[in-house]
Structure 1
Amino acid sequence: MLSARLSLGVRLSLLFAACTAAVSLLAGIVFSRASEAHFVELDLQVMSAKLAIFRDTLGDVASPAQLQPHVAQLRQELERHPDLGLRLAGADGQAWFEQMPAMVMPGGPPAFRELQAPLDAQLPNGPQLTLVLDITHHQHFLQRMQQLIWLTMSLSALATALLGAWAARSSLRPLRRMSEVAAKVSAHSLTTRLDASQMPQELRGLAAELNAMLARLEEAFQRLSAFSADIAHELRTPLTGLLTQTQVVLSRSRGLEDYREALHGNLEELERLTAMVNDMLFLAKADHGLLTPNSQPLELAAEVDELLEFYGPLAEEKAIRLERGGELRVQGDRALLRRVLANLLDNALRFTAEGGIVRVRLEPGRLSVENPGREIPAERLARLFDRFYRADPARREGQGEHAGLGLAICRSIVRAHGGEIRCESADGWTRFVIEFPKSHSL
């Protein structure tokens, strides 16, 4: 369509021009009709006044013979008004006197307006007077006015189109600025922002949203870059170990037991790599909204008790006391929620000193796992759920099977259930809190 190929500025200019032309045309038509009605009213007033004069002059005339003494007076009166004509006819329609007006304005067919009335208002069937008024000059005036209306409408539309184009171009300058900023955005320049304070009121919201989008893109790109670096780091260590161990084993002939031991070591590293890749695939699936939990009623108290029993031997080795308090029924996926609880309990046990305590609290719509430990700085709490992130940089090496994906998986599972998970750290306690939505709480 043609409108789709026209720029917004051109469309606005044409719209302004069309609106101005329509308003000018409507105003011109109204003025023209009003002028025409005004001239008709004036003409009727003039002819009515002359009709009264002629009636006074010819009031006793009843035949052509009685008219003769008044002819000179009639012609004298008509000469004073060259645009006025008179016709006097008897009751039988025969003309007794007739003098038509001379053409006042040459150059076109004349136009007349007539007024017919009985000579004696009391005798409607008696002699008839017909007044004829030349209105050619009125018609010429109306024609010139119509031409002026069309000229004014055309010039107004043209002027409005030009002014509209200028105004539209000036008003759309902020949009062009947005386009320029968007064109500059790339992976290497995500820090560009729009100055919303210089935008019109109507575009400030859009500018703020674009700035927020750019900020999110910048943050996501930074996280992606960090994620790529973390993946390379996490995969490099086990792959380097596998490569080194294999090279050492193959450097010379060895006994069967040495080969068996080397293969067992490689198997452990491969299992860890497999677990890491599976976790990454799980997170990728969650990021694309492909994680669809099964929904069934669950007694989380029973699930927690089973997990506490499972982790009991590990807790006994470190003299850590495990506690559970409260009840909570939810609608969710048993396997996925058990994975969340297992990750949280595993973290709590790893970072709780000997002789400490790990508590699991169940409340309506809420579950928390807490343990005593060193306070985590506030600026790191939100990043705990990032992939491969560890609050203590010193713990990045030598974590064995712990690759830093557990809390990211927990967040993905909780969000798939419509809830949220957060970490609180204060007064020597670290607490992970899960908030379930009301629709999932029973």
Structure 2
Amino acid sequence: MLQRISLGSRLALLFAACTAVVSLTAGVLFNRASEAHFLELDQQLLDSKLPTLRDALKDVLTAEQFDARKPALLNELRHSPDLTLQVRSQTGVLWFDSQVPSIPQNGVHAGLHTLTESGVAYRAYTVALYPEKQDSPQLTLLLDITHHQHFLERMQHLIWLTVGLSALATALLGAWAARSGLRPLRKMSEIAASVSASSLTTRLPLDEMPAELAELTQAFNAMLGRLDDGFQRLSAFSADIAHELRTPLSNLLTHTQVTLTLPRDLEAYREALLDNLEELQGMAQMVNDMLYLAKAEHGLLSPSRERLHLAEETDALLEFFLPLAEEAHVQLRRQGDAELAGDRHMLRRALSNLLGNALRFTPAQGQVAVKLESAAQRVRITVENSGQTLPSEVLPRLFDRFYRADPARHEGSSEHAGLGLAITQSIIHAHGGTIRCESQHGMTRFLIELPAGSQ
């Protein structure tokens, strides 16, 4: 049940409890201090009466001597109506008591103490008549302190009333303060409830938030930013893939419809099917690439780890691309060597994408070079090609899906859908590495850094 109480109610109850404890503690301390103060005043009052009483009972050692001094004693007691006096012999025999009925002797003992008799509270003070004598008669002074007790009782009632009222007032004020203090949280909740696909650009005003909520506000705004970025990427991806699939699908439909308009011989149908197969293979490759990227984005790529000699792997790829390079009159070369622990198939695919991309954009008589370097547990792979310098604003977008630096050159082509560099980046990231592109002075370089790792 406690877990269902609102945060504001919890704070209000805590404020009330703290105030009640503080008020009660202060009241108890004040009550104790008042009692000690009254005790001190009574002690001083009784001590001030002793010299007069001792003077009135001077040289009294026996009952007969006391009877002779009794009129003077009674005359002195008339000046203190709230004071009761008992005189006893050194053996405890009661000689005199100014109060009737008398307070029993078992209720009186030496020193200053408090006793109650017949509903009346007394401060009792028992001392020797002659402190310097061992067999001195005993004086017991009884001061009526009923008015003190009534005052202390009223004070206790006032303390409990104050505790109750202060706790109630603090609870109400605490509820108001908590509600006011939690207003930023309610605003955050309202914004979170209003967030939809069309309002992901909404942000909490950081400058209006208290310092305690600044970090939470930043995290909330960052979450909205990530959601907005993810939604924008998803929307862009949906639009891009629809655009990319529209052209080959349109080609398939048009080609099939044209083929079916007139009766044709077997060879014509065979050629039509072969053309359709080529488009379908391109579309299938695009779908496979998109599935591969989806796995990469969800962290589902788990590269195996085996010791690779990058010089051997690179030479094998260069030999594969050699016929294309010779046809385009482009020179291929490799420099250096390095070793690392990685997935052979995935790294070959990444390097193959980079080499294929470099060959497409390298003019005749140009060159494509692969440089391998090892240093400080890191491996650097550089794939560079000569050709047109890419604009600086293009470089950050090269690894986006379906992005082409020159879209008009490959519009409608399913062979190069703009996914190769995105796949390459996913493979490098899966191996814990980084990849970036530089383009200047007629040279474009892709620089890959990977941890050397261990097998």
> What TM-score bracket applies, with the shorter chain setting the length?
over 0.9
The answer to whether 1:409 aligns with 2:409 is no
**Could you tell me which amino acid in structure 1 is paired with residue 54 of structure 2?**
R
The answer to whether 1:370 aligns with 2:384 is yes
C-alpha spacing 1:82/1:380, structure 2 compared with 1 (3 Å):
farther
For residue 7 of structure 1, report the CA deviation from its aligned partner.
2.0
The answer to whether 1:126 aligns with 2:136 is yes
Residue 117 of structure 1 contacts residue 130 of structure 1 at CA under 8 Å; is this kept in 2?
yes
CA-to-aligned-CA distance 1:306-347 (integer Å, 9 cap, x gap)? 111211111111221222222322221111111111111111
Residue 87 of structure 2 contacts residue 137 of structure 2 at CA under 8 Å; is this kept in 1?
yes
Please name the residue that 2:400 is paired with: 386
Q: 2:321 aligns with which of 299, 311, 325?
A: 311
For residue 405 of structure 1, report the CA deviation from its aligned partner.
1.2
Q: Secondary structure at the match of 1:260?
A: helix
Q: 1:278 aligns with which of 279, 284, 288?
A: 288
Q: Could you tell me how far apart the structure 1 residues matched to 2:137 and 2:197 are? A: 102
Please name the residue that 1:59 is paired with: 58
Residue 329 of structure 1 contacts residue 441 of structure 1 at CA under 8 Å; is this kept in 2?
no
For residue 9 of structure 1, report the CA deviation from its aligned partner.
1.8
Please name the residue that 1:419 is paired with: 433
For residue 147 of structure 1, report the CA deviation from its aligned partner.
1.5
The answer to whether 1:30 aligns with 2:29 is yes
Residue 57 of structure 2 contacts residue 73 of structure 2 at CA under 8 Å; is this kept in 1?
no
Residue 247 of structure 2 contacts residue 412 of structure 2 at CA under 8 Å; is this kept in 1?
no
Residue 331 of structure 1 contacts residue 441 of structure 1 at CA under 8 Å; is this kept in 2?
yes
The answer to whether 1:114 aligns with 2:124 is yes
CA-to-aligned-CA distance 1:173-231 (integer Å, 9 cap, x gap)? 22222222222221112222222122222223322332222222222212211110111
Please name the residue that 2:158 is paired with: 148
Q: Could you tell me how far apart the structure 1 residues matched to 2:227 and 2:54 are? A: 96
For residue 396 of structure 1, report the CA deviation from its aligned partner.
4.3
**Could you tell me which amino acid in structure 2 is paired with residue 435 of structure 1?**
E
C-alpha spacing 1:55/1:347, structure 2 compared with 1 (3 Å):
same
Residue 100 of structure 1 contacts residue 132 of structure 1 at CA under 8 Å; is this kept in 2?
no
C-alpha spacing 1:395/1:56, structure 2 compared with 1 (3 Å):
farther
For residue 57 of structure 1, report the CA deviation from its aligned partner.
2.9
Please name the residue that 1:267 is paired with: 277
Q: List gaps (5 residues or longer) in structure 1.
A: 103-107
Q: Secondary structure at the match of 1:370?
A: strand
For residue 111 of structure 1, report the CA deviation from its aligned partner.
0.9
Q: Could you tell me how far apart the structure 1 residues matched to 2:219 and 2:442 are? A: 40
Q: Could you tell me how far apart the structure 1 residues matched to 2:341 and 2:74 are? A: 112
Q: 2:363 aligns with which of 337, 350, 353?
A: 353
C-alpha spacing 1:386/1:123, structure 2 compared with 1 (3 Å):
same
Q: Could you tell me how far apart the structure 2 residues matched to 1:302 and 1:203 are? A: 56
**Could you tell me which amino acid in structure 2 is paired with residue 144 of structure 1?**
R
C-alpha spacing 1:220/1:395, structure 2 compared with 1 (3 Å):
farther
Please name the residue that 1:79 is paired with: 78
The answer to whether 1:196 aligns with 2:206 is yes
Q: Secondary structure at the match of 2:398?
A: helix
CA-to-aligned-CA distance 1:20-64 (integer Å, 9 cap, x gap)? 111111111112112212222222222233234323332310111
Q: Could you tell me how far apart the structure 1 residues matched to 2:28 and 2:99 are? A: 33
Q: Could you tell me how far apart the structure 1 residues matched to 2:57 and 2:20 are? A: 54
C-alpha spacing 1:118/1:357, structure 2 compared with 1 (3 Å):
same
Larger deviation, residues 90-99 vs 163-172: 163-172
For residue 66 of structure 1, report the CA deviation from its aligned partner.
0.5
C-alpha spacing 1:75/1:15, structure 2 compared with 1 (3 Å):
same
Residue 116 of structure 1 contacts residue 131 of structure 1 at CA under 8 Å; is this kept in 2?
yes
Please name the residue that 1:105 is paired with: none
CA-to-aligned-CA distance 1:365-384 (integer Å, 9 cap, x gap)? 22221222333333332222
C-alpha spacing 1:272/1:116, structure 2 compared with 1 (3 Å):
same
Residue 84 of structure 1 contacts residue 101 of structure 1 at CA under 8 Å; is this kept in 2?
no
CA-to-aligned-CA distance 1:392-433 (integer Å, 9 cap, x gap)? 232341434111111111121111111222222223222212
**Could you tell me which amino acid in structure 2 is paired with residue 317 of structure 1?**
E
Work out the number of aligned pairs and report it. Answer: 435
Percent sequence identity is 61
Q: List gaps (5 residues or longer) in structure 2.
A: 102-117
Q: Could you tell me how far apart the structure 2 residues matched to 1:309 and 1:274 are? A: 27
* CA RMSD, Structure 1 to Structure 2 (Å): 2.1
Residue 86 of structure 1 contacts residue 99 of structure 1 at CA under 8 Å; is this kept in 2?
yes
CA-to-aligned-CA distance 1:220-263 (integer Å, 9 cap, x gap)? 21221111011111112222222222222222322221122122
**Could you tell me which amino acid in structure 1 is paired with residue 94 of structure 2?**
A
